[in-house]
Structure 1
């Protein structure tokens, strides 16, 4: 495979990835990470840089001499609120936080594209987006809602996520839905406390919570992936105060819903609301407030974008895996497709013996950086060298 970068540039990116790894910032707090990214983009000679997009997001444009389509390459800025247990010398220096999903590596790959863009495309634009708050599902929507987004809006959008358990550098291609929809539902119960010797004088949510803990998982039991796939996972339950003398007057239940389609998600949410209402009907004076959190829509790839990625991987001689079913985990990248971009979320194997994403000992493999950069650059070259790709962007 012909690499898009020189050996010294790859060494530079590895050092940068490890520096980012040491200073993770969680969703919505990526200020210092964004500042470092801006420095690197300025060094790479970006033609224009946007900062503060949808929070701490950063985007950079590399502009060709002639008009043409706009291609966006996107990565994520945020780490996780998980304590790293790795013994690598560049492990996280921030207590309780770590880059344990590989976003540090994703950033390094996209900065590698910036280095490769020293030789500008002959036509069109390349936008590199460093998106905030992917882990909470809030970042992509916030970027699109930013009033400067129309200056950036792409015709094509591509992103990677690394996948442990797959051969290093193997490219996963999924047509149609690539990542499930998901959202968290928090059900907060309000009753009335009483002395534990007279529970009948209070209103306890205990029986409602016990009932829902039994019935909510029935909404979606998982199993094989198909259009009607649904999974409801209880993630938290609490009841009153840790006391022996008080009959509880409050409680909370949290459930994560997951589905292959947004329509199926709507049915799941409605089913939860119906079951909560039924539980309340059996208990006078108990109320509940249901709220949604970390809402991810299904990510749906465009066939044309997937085909471009497949042809690029073939040209580079990269191993490919045609995925029959989407990932169960979610991604907010799909919002860029809903905004009109021909888009593809791609998957890149990070090693068959690699710890799982979000494990406390996960570490992005540096050997992926040159592979990821080369595929992104080849995708850009393929689109911008094709004269049949009309300029559909007012900014191209």
Structure 2
């Protein structure tokens, strides 16, 4: 298949971004393409809005997994591209259109030039939320077709085309959402002594939450507690009866995430006592750390250095989150960054990855799978 064909596929997928577990057009598009491939070596199973595709090898010993996420984000696109999103306020602002296209390209190559081992291509919904990797992993299909190793990539706007970045061990952080609702007693601004002001309580809680990292986490560890949104009150001369904090938490260890959550609970109890109010905490969805299995990742890095012209960067761990971590928790494997050279970062309304990276990734991953899947 020519490079122009993959570019066209990416552009068509870019136009139909859909939110988690709503990827109906995307699933139909992917199935239409997959079913156009020679069927003698392919088994296809649907799971919610996701897809499993098993490609039978010539003399399989293992099952090698490759995962691509398929959902978009609730972001209004501002790229001005002729193939911009057709869905208002939804966009492939995290490169999942690239991820799907690359997976289709690799799938095509493996079907046309089968390797010894079997392969499982996992087209996963809802990576951006509420999280599709963990329930997909627990599904009967994936328990039956559980890979021996699994790999995935993520586009990286900050790296040039022709580079990948990876490291053994921890790559992405543990993450958790944070929602806190406070309810006190509202009233007229002229009579504050008759009220319990939730704007004041919320502001004090935000300040206290910022002490968790500086005073409860080992200085040699890393964590982030961010409150990104505060809402409260109704009008300027009424003391607020309610307030709401929305934020995110990230840590480089599962143990630190537990400690952060425990401290949030303790501080909220203090606010309840101090401001005579009621509070509820919702940690929302959260993702387990992405931990690259050392031996498999090192083998991959050596392959890139010795068998390709791609520049390999051994990167540092990042505070980004990815639900692929749940799969790596049970299946050895790795994730790596793919350089796509964009001035705008992930989740930005103007993100436009360089399409030259598509062919680079398809050829490189195919070569690695041929090396890995044909190795005795």
Structure-1-length-normalised TM-score = 0.89
SS in 2 for 1:290: strand
User: 1:60 Cα shift?
Assistant: 0.5
User: 1:210 Cα shift?
Assistant: 1.4
**Alignment partner for residue 255 of structure 1, among 247, 256, 259?**
247
**Alignment partner for residue 12 of structure 1, among 5, 16, 20?**
5
Please say if 1:34 is aligned against 2:34.
no
State the partner residue of 1:49.
44
RMSD: 1.9
Q: Give yes or no for contact 2:115–2:370 (8 Å, CA) kept in 1.
A: no
Residue deviations 1:256-314 (CA, integer Å, cap 9, x gap): 11111111111111111111111111122x11110112301111000122123213323
Residue deviations 1:197-218 (CA, integer Å, cap 9, x gap): 4343343322321111212122
Residue deviations 1:168-198 (CA, integer Å, cap 9, x gap): 1201121100001111110111223334443
Q: Give yes or no for contact 1:171–1:313 (8 Å, CA) kept in 2.
A: no
User: 1:113 Cα shift?
Assistant: 0.8
Residue deviations 1:303-336 (CA, integer Å, cap 9, x gap): 122123213323122110012x212211111111
**Alignment partner for residue 115 of structure 1, among 93, 108, 121?**
108
CA–CA separation in structure 2 for the residues paired with 1:94 and 1:44: 29
Please say if 1:375 is aligned against 2:364.
yes
Structure-2-length-normalised TM-score = 0.93
Deviating beyond 6 angstroms after TM superposition, the runs of 4 or more aligned structure 1 residues are none
Q: Give yes or no for contact 1:217–1:234 (8 Å, CA) kept in 2.
A: no
State the partner residue of 2:284.
293
Would the alpha carbon gap of residues 221 and 111 (structure 1) be closer, same or farther in structure 2, given more than 3 Å must change? farther
Q: Give yes or no for contact 1:64–1:120 (8 Å, CA) kept in 2.
A: no
Please say if 1:345 is aligned against 2:335.
yes
CA–CA separation in structure 1 for the residues paired with 2:269 and 2:187: 24
Deviates more, 1:21-30 or 1:38-47: 38-47
Q: Give yes or no for contact 1:44–1:114 (8 Å, CA) kept in 2.
A: no
Q: Counterparts in 2 of 1:143-292, with a 5 A limit?
A: 143-220=136-213, 228-241=221-234, 243-284=235-276, 286-292=277-283
User: 1:255 Cα shift?
Assistant: 2.3
- Residue-pair matches, total: 371
CA–CA separation in structure 1 for the residues paired with 2:225 and 2:85: 33
**Alignment partner for residue 128 of structure 1, among 83, 103, 121?**
121
Q: Give yes or no for contact 1:104–1:364 (8 Å, CA) kept in 2.
A: no
Would the alpha carbon gap of residues 17 and 218 (structure 1) be closer, same or farther in structure 2, given more than 3 Å must change? same
The runs of 5 or more residues in structure 2 that have no matched partner are none
Q: Give yes or no for contact 1:227–1:260 (8 Å, CA) kept in 2.
A: no
**Alignment partner for residue 346 of structure 2, among 357, 380, 383?**
357
